[in-house]
Chains A and B, each alone.
Chain A
């Protein structure tokens, strides 16, 4: 609990916000989703945005850690532990936001008794569960110093990390009804933006851990990760450009949606993503000299994370603005005859959206205090015992 006791003020603030978030969720359970700003016109809001966001943030950690084993990038192994802890916490948060968004959570067991195999949500339930299991196995084996198991798990972890983002993208990308979502490039975009936001979060956390003298990351490794971040930003920007060009070029329905993105109600988020989330951080990180300076790397990382959050917002919400059938029955609102979808989050919604990540930060601090210190002999000895038993059986995992 070193991280918690050392940063008493931070811990207290996080705890208060987390408790407020939980209280807001209890309030929502009592009042139903009516306490949120969502309506029949805009039927998904901040919760689904945060779900996408945290699935993405979870990626960076697992991809960095597992590529250390898969592609033999030994220098990345040094940060595998904080990376996987981060990844585990983020995927739990993503799952929590899905649960928070459900209107009938008391009937959730229906997911297991009668799953519909054509639903992307069912794919997501399966893949996220698998992903979480892999993360936990990774943590346990890394802690025990079982390198062979870690290298086997990482071979599954990498494709699974890519799959979890693709499936999340398909929840949106396969919906023909929403012009702004229906695109084959949605999955690659999600993987790319997951990589850049996840890496950026990892860099911020590593810098914070270094400052707190809990876990030291060498300057060279930070610079190297920042270089990888710059590459990921470029790939993300390229995919977004492909998507935007394809929407704009025929000058048809796609161009109308694009016009909404660039000059409609979600335009501030779009432009922040393009300028603040992609252009500026890339221009900072593209120079090797800047990558050496922790302050600049952290600044660029924060921008990338904020940019990707904005991107989730414009991606989700823009497609809810204009219904395909003007004044359709579902779009009836309090005011009567709504032609456009409107959405503004309410206080309980905001408290939940702020509180849950605070809870996640606390969970990270607890796990970090326990796992970022060298493993004790007691934790390692079991593996040695297991190895000896394996040797006795005539099987040596090191040579087999």
Chain B
């Protein structure tokens, strides 16, 4: 079985937010919503720093759906709208989502966004990949690991667009894949390991 995943090199990440924007464009993500986001640890502003001048530190952490092997969101979804697909991705069938938001309560990573209103876009048309379905009001959405692209054998847009090549995409089941090698070689870690969700997104320095 395939288990698609991403390993992110935090040493290479310069916090340029290109992955977040590439994701938003590719997936027609509405205004006020992001599937992928570069957080700056301890700051409530973009690109902030912590500490007192001149002893400042700044850490970037790109976060999106972790495509867990043991997904809490999938377990609690009453209608099976959230499911783990044969490629190891956590996906949402928007036709089945009844908007109960149980998944949002269950996800330890707060990776999900809800369509509280009719989706608004700054331009008055849909953008991005034509194959990406348009989400109606009242459903949850999140990173799909660029399902439409990865189905075609392409890499997710955040991986393609990252200017510093900080992201490595591939099959975690295949020990010869770049991503598997990076995870082992760099002793990559996952977010909130203690939650037991076994994410398929890894981080290393």
Contact = CB atoms under 8 A, between A and B. Distances in A.
Q: Do they bind each other?
A: yes
Interface of A: 31-34, 36, 38-41, 43-44, 98, 101-105, 107-108, 110-111, 114-116, 118-122, 125, 171-172, 174-178, 323-332, 334, 336-339
B139 A103 contact: yes
B105 A44 contact: yes
Given A114-B79, A175-B76, A176-B196, 8 more contacts: A104-B98, A115-B79, A125-B78, A175-B72, A175-B105, A177-B106, A177-B107, A325-B191
B111 A330 contact: yes
Contacts of B34: 329, 332
The 9 closest A-B pairs by CB, nearest first: A103-B99, A103-B138, A34-B117, A328-B110, A104-B138, A177-B108, A327-B39, A104-B99, A329-B37
A34 B115 CA distance: 8
Contacts of B196: 176
6 contacts: A103-B137, A176-B72, A176-B196, A329-B63, A329-B142, A336-B46
Residue with the highest number of chain A CB atoms closer than 10 Å, among B36, B137, B195: B137
A334 B138 CA distance: 18
A336 B114 CA distance: 16
A102 B195 contact: no
Interface of B: 32-37, 39-46, 61, 63-64, 72, 75-81, 95-102, 104-118, 136-139, 142, 191-192, 195-196
A325 B79 CA distance: 27
A40 B112 contact: yes
Nearest to B95: A107
A324 B109 contact: yes
B76 A326 contact: no
The prevalent SS among residues of A at the interface is loop
A330 B138 contact: no
A43 B108 contact: no
B33 A332 contact: yes
Contact of A328 (B37, B44, B79, B97): B37
B105 to A, nearest CB: 6
A180 to B, nearest CB: 12
Residue with the highest number of chain B CB atoms closer than 10 Å, among A41, A104, A121, A175: A104
Contacts of B106: 175, 177
B79 A40 contact: no
B108 A104 contact: no
Contact of B37 (A33, A39, A101, A327): A327
Given A114-B79, A327-B39, A330-B110, A121 B117 contact: no
A275 to B, nearest CB: 29
B27 to A, nearest CB: 12
B40 A327 contact: yes
A40 B113 contact: yes
Given A103-B98, A104-B99, A104-B138, A39 B116 contact: yes
A33 B116 CA distance: 5
Contacts of A108: 98
Contacts of A38: 116
B145 to A, nearest CB: 14
A337 B98 contact: no
Contacts of A175: 72, 76, 105-106
Residue with the highest number of chain A CB atoms closer than 10 Å, among B63, B114, B195: B114
B78 to A, nearest CB: 4
Given A32-B138, A339-B44, A329 B101 contact: no
A255 to B, nearest CB: 16
Contacts of B192: 324-325
Contacts of A118: 75-76
Contact of A330 (B75, B113, B195): B113
A332 B114 contact: no
Contact of A110 (B98, B110, B115): B98
Contact of B78 (A36, A101, A115, A176): A115
Contacts of B76: 118-121, 174-175
Nearest to A108: B98
A176 to B, nearest CB: 6
A110 B37 CA distance: 32
Nearest to B65: A329
Contact of A323 (B32, B45, B75, B110): B110
Nearest to A181: B105
Contacts of A176: 72, 108, 195-196
Nearest to B195: A176
A267 B89 CA distance: 40
